[in-house]
Amino acid sequence: MLDKAKLHPLWKERTERRDKRQAEDPDHLYGTGFAISHKDFGTGAEAPMASVEINAEGRIRLRQIAIDMGTGTATSQAMNVVDFLGRPADDIKTGETDWPELALETSGNPYTMQQAEQDRLSRNPRWTPRLASPSSASNSAYYSSHATREARLVFRHGLWPAALSIWGRASTEARPIPMWYASRTPAGSKGTSPPAA
């Protein structure tokens, strides 16, 4: 990759391009850089966790185990809820390691554990190979985002059916895609009643 990149005109002509741009606009610096990342697939020790909450005022709160190290993790995770809640999270807490609501248990070393031992331990629904995930190797783009997106299952199969039951509506009368107007759902700030039919 590096051999190919160094032959690209953007890299080969970077000095001339910089000098030209800075002569045209001396108030701004111009440069050409190079960055690369890799994904450490198959470590066997990922434990992404996220929770998405909606309070009585309709604010969306996201808790995420990933650490934001200036790489945009908080922003990207906030945007992950748009597809199922209609807008980004209002409040984000990254680096969250306290998940008492899950009552998880861990044991053993996920890097050296034999498959038979993992199979035995996984019969316990509260067991996990790890209680935290690293934020290295582009993890937020893969594992952390997956955890945030999977929160939609609680909405789709838990909160939405419960709301329909409270509202006395059939699933064919309403859609589970919230629309937001002036920071509120059509149901109102407390979400206690559905929009008028």
Domain boundaries, given as residue ranges, for the chain: 1-36, 50-97+132-167
Instruction: Report the phi/psi class of residue 28: left, alpha or beta, with left for phi > 0 and alpha for psi in -120 to 50.
Output: beta
**In which band, very low, low, confident or very high, does the pLDDT at 54 lie, cut at 50, 70 and 90?**
confident
CA distance 66 to 50: 9
Overall pTM surpassing 0.95 (yes/no)? no
Q: Which two tokens stand for residue 44?
A: 């066997």
Q: What is the mean pLDDT of the chain?
A: 80
CA distance 25 to 37: 32
**In which band, very low, low, confident or very high, does the pLDDT at 195 lie, cut at 50, 70 and 90?**
very low
Residue 161 makes CB contacts below 8 A (sequence gap 6+) with: 171
Q: Are residues 90 and 155 in contact, defined by beta-carbon separation less than 8 angstroms?
A: no
Predicted pLDDT of residue 57: 85
Tell me which architecture the domain covering 50-97+132-167 has in CATH.
Answer: 2-Layer Sandwich (3.30)
**Better-predicted residue by pLDDT, 55 or 91:** 91
pLDDT greater than 50 at residue 194: no
